[in-house]
Amino acid sequence: MSKAIFITATDTGVGKTIISCAIGLALKEKGIDVGYMKPFQCSGYDADFVVKALAIKNDKDLVNPYYASEPLAPCVAFKRAKIKIDLKKVFASYNELRMKHEFLIIEGAGGLLVPLKENYLVVDLIRDLDIPALIVARSGLGTLNHTLLTQKYALNYGIKLKGVIINCGKAKGLAEKTNPQTLREFLDTMPLLGVMPYIKNIKSRNGLARLAKEAQKNIDLKALLKKEKSLTEKLVKEDKEYVWHPFTQMKDWQGGEPLIIEEAKGSYLKDTEGKWYLDGVSSLWVNVHGHRKKEIDVSVIKQLNKVAHSTLLGLGNVPSIELAKKLIEIAPKGLAKVFYSDNGSTAVEAALKMAYQYWQHRGEAKHKFIHLENAYHGDTIGSVSVGGIDLFHKVYKNLLFDSYKADSPYCYRCPKSKTYPPCSFECLDSLREILRKHHTSTAALIVEPLVQAAAGMLVWPAGIYKKMSELCKEYNVLLIADEVAVGIGRTGSMFASDLEGVTPDILCIAKGISAGYLPLALTLTTQKIFDGFLGEHKEQKTFFHGHTYTGNPLACAAALANLELFKKEKTLEKLQPKIKFLKEELEKFKELPMVGDVRQKGFMVGIELVRDKATKEPYGWEEKIGIKVCQKVREYGVILRPLGNVIVLMPPLSISKLELEQLLDVTHKAISFITLYRNAKIVKRIRL
């Protein structure tokens, strides 16, 4: 891919075309093959002029995909000309030209806020192209204001800026004289890349020669072409020196070659070497609408311009109220109140303490919990106490409170049912038994509805969650649904509980709620539980629990924009065909000799690798089979994170079908490579 720059300006008629031409000529002089594109042109011959001046040979349709004859803003001109703008055509031309040339100059239309089509301005185009912009300013009175406004808006909108070039007119007053120095002082974090003098009869042959010469002299081409120096080596060294990574054997890490991510866009992450990777696990299950999603960025920035944080202890704040209301509107019917915290574990802690204290206020000695085998509810001591994954939890055993453990629906390794589904839910027997024996001492059952995620995406047979909720009702035990992983669209429905028509007494949300932007969690509960805490001050029925960053306004603003996008972009509707496609494509994985089980619910996938398909013998922990597959996909430009021997696919809900294909192809290739070709011993066994 070539380098590219987007030429915009503080206003129309400032000289974008002349500066595009000047830069192009100067670069050509240096022997660089320059391409040019003017995606939208309304009247005039700007594009023709540059094409001719730079002797560009590309098809006119590529250089200028959209032309209208009236001198108006594009959205008006094209509407009047009855031309429908398809941005795909613009991006396709852009991609083609970028392949063809070493350096591509893209000239905008007017300034940043010129509307190109409905809800789409020049800034949106720059954002979508994701290339740095250069601002052309005129010289004179007003220049400072126009230039700084343009700069400020661009930066707030998440556009990278290369710098400013002043294009001088005929006048030579005091303002013109002092503009460059003043701009240098006031431009934040970006340089003044040049001041181009006025050139007479620019369109003549002589004029062009002058332009080329002046450009060489006055434009800082070095700065324009400069590649950001890679800091990878230094960063890796300092990471290894100072940072302790979660769930990571740091000895392995320190011997490895970690990637350092510095940027992202849509479904992709970019490392400090400039390499892009498909984010196959949504930055650990949190991303929903892609990275740097315009609407969410804007919502957070808007909130940042009001207040970043104010406490909910003794005060309210605007976004936390709006978000609570919106969530109650869409949550399973019967949930009425929202308690805020900042991560999944704390959402669960709050739920456990709420359930526990609720029964105390009712004068009942219900102080125990039931959890499931293979459960994961977070890493704080309370949530570990109701955890069922020995690998993570057993070392802390002496720190934890006692909890009843019931069987979990791990169908692939179910000892009772050889073929699933259907089954008769034998795994519920132990839960039923515990409830029968201990319901009078049990406050709540806590479950991850439908999919036990961290245990390796254990997908439950339909109906079992509903049954659990009925058992809880029957035995007067509260139901806590930990929807931290499954909530916010992951299963194809906004909440997993919706899929079985269950209203839990308490529902925990985190991960996807703020679209992967900021830490935020919520514990939703019914009016009945909330009312259990009401009383006179002296009764001390208060819920004595809260975290400092409770209801953080920035995080709530991200979440509000996220929920708004679900509506505006019909996220769940668009997800359904992708879920279907994923399901079909996953069939191919089942044929692989080392794939024991493929589990999918919505956009959650677990591919369990086994050493022996017939006996279901697992790979040993020390074999690091999952880690090896994930290292392999990285070579092909995909980021995954395994759960032991289970390969997890959890792409952003907004992923395109093409990207999804890439994810599946690469994963299939990597599993084949690691399990078949690499391990000679296994290959031998297969041959036998």
Residues that bind ligand PLP (CB under 6 A): 343-345, 348, 376-378, 448, 453-454, 482, 484-485, 510-511
Closer of 512 and 532 to ligand PLP (Cβ): 512
Ranked by CB distance to ligand PLP, the top (closest) residue is 344
Instruction: Give the torsion sign (CA, 171, 175, 179, 181).
Output: positive
Shortest Å, Cβ 434 to ligand PLP: 21
State whether residue 502 is helix, strand or coil.
coil
Closer of 224 and 509 to ligand PLP (Cβ): 509
Shortest Å, Cβ 1 to ligand PLP: 36
Shortest Å, Cβ 285 to ligand PLP: 7
Closer of 106 and 453 to ligand PLP (Cβ): 453
String of DSSP letters for 561-574: HHHHHHHHTTHHHH
Closer of 110 and 449 to ligand PLP (Cβ): 449
H/E element holding 268? strand 268-271
Q: How does 106-131 read in b/e, with b if 16+ C-beta sit within 10 Å?
A: bbbbbbbebbbbeeebbbbbbbbbbb
Inter-CA distances, 386 with 176, 231, 375, 435, Å? 71, 43, 7, 16
Dist. CA 394–CA 398, nearest whole Å: 9
Angle at 359 between CA 358 and CA 361, to 5 degrees: 70
H/E element holding 642? none
Dist. CA 93–CA 64, nearest whole Å: 9
Shortest Å, Cβ 452 to ligand PLP: 8
CB 466 within 8 A of CB 497: no
Shortest Å, Cβ 58 to ligand PLP: 50
Shortest Å, Cβ 393 to ligand PLP: 13
Shortest Å, Cβ 348 to ligand PLP: 6
Helix 122-129 vs helix 143-156: angle between axes, to the nearest 10 degrees?
50
- DSSP lists the bridge partners of residue 270 as 263, 276
Inter-CA distances, 78 with 41, 66, 89, 491, Å? 10, 8, 15, 42
Shortest Å, Cβ 339 to ligand PLP: 15
Closer of 193 and 447 to ligand PLP (Cβ): 447
Closer of 154 and 506 to ligand PLP (Cβ): 506
Closer of 62 and 643 to ligand PLP (Cβ): 643
Shortest Å, Cβ 521 to ligand PLP: 7
Closer of 439 and 547 to ligand PLP (Cβ): 547
Q: In terms of Cα–Cα distance, which of 458, 407, 443, 437 is closest to 601?
A: 458
Closer of 484 and 586 to ligand PLP (Cβ): 484
| Chain centroid, CA 205 distance in Å | 51
CB 146 within 8 A of CB 140: no
